[in-house]
Amino acid sequence: QITLEESGPSLVKPARTLTLTCTFSGFSLYTSGVGVGWIRQPPGEALEWLALILWDDDKRYSPSLKNRLTVTKDTSKNQVVLIMTNMDPADTATYYCAHRFGYGGFDSWGQGTRVTVSS
């Protein structure tokens, strides 16, 4: 059974850096074809894809946010970390991490973590 859980601060000040951790079980990032993605949903708005990291450490970012995003993995700890710089109130959202394999969709998701950007 695949599980994922996001963790991080619930409140971030504008211009600061957000660091979120996704801790997972039931799969390994040593396995070829496996990826972990980050997706967010601002209140009342649609889902937005942010980033993807693959088993071979290939990293992809949303073109509109790539200058602010960094994703890394610690395969031995079963963790993926998302860093977003220069936070703005518009970044207030629920942030999800999700598992992907091969060409399939994001088939398992965490429950999400709510992040509010406010001074």
Partner 1 sequence: QSALTQPASVSGSPGQSIAISCTGTSSDLGSYDLVSWYQHHPGNAPKLLISEATKRPSGVSSRFSGSKFGNTATLNIYGLQAEDEAAYYCCAYAGDNTFVFGSGTKVTVL
Stretch that binds partner 1, among 26-34, 71-79, 85-93, 106-114 (CB under 8 A): 106-114
Q: Is 106 in the site for partner 1 (CB under 8 A)?
A: yes
* Number of residues binding to partner 1, judged by CB under 8 A: 26
CA dist 73 and 53 (Å) reads 8
Q: How far is the CB of 10 from partner 1 (least distance, A)?
A: 16
CA dist 39 and 45 (Å) reads 12
Residues 62 to 101 in contact with partner 1, rule: CB under 8 A? 62-64, 96, 98
Any alpha helices (H) in 1-118, and if so which ranges?
none
Nearer to partner 1, 44 or 119 (CB): 44
3-class SS at 28?
Answer: coil
CA dist 79 and 92 (Å) reads 23
Q: Which of 68, 112, 115, 117 binds partner 1 (CB under 8 A)?
A: 112
Tell me if 37 sits within 8 A of 106, measured CB to CB. yes
Of the candidates 99, 108, 109, 110, the residue with the CA atom closest to the CA atom of residue 33: 99
User: Site map for partner 1, 24-43, x if CB under 8 A?
Assistant: -----------x-x-x----
Binding site for partner 1 (CB under 8 A): 35, 37, 39, 46-49, 52, 54, 58, 60-64, 96, 98, 103-107, 109-112
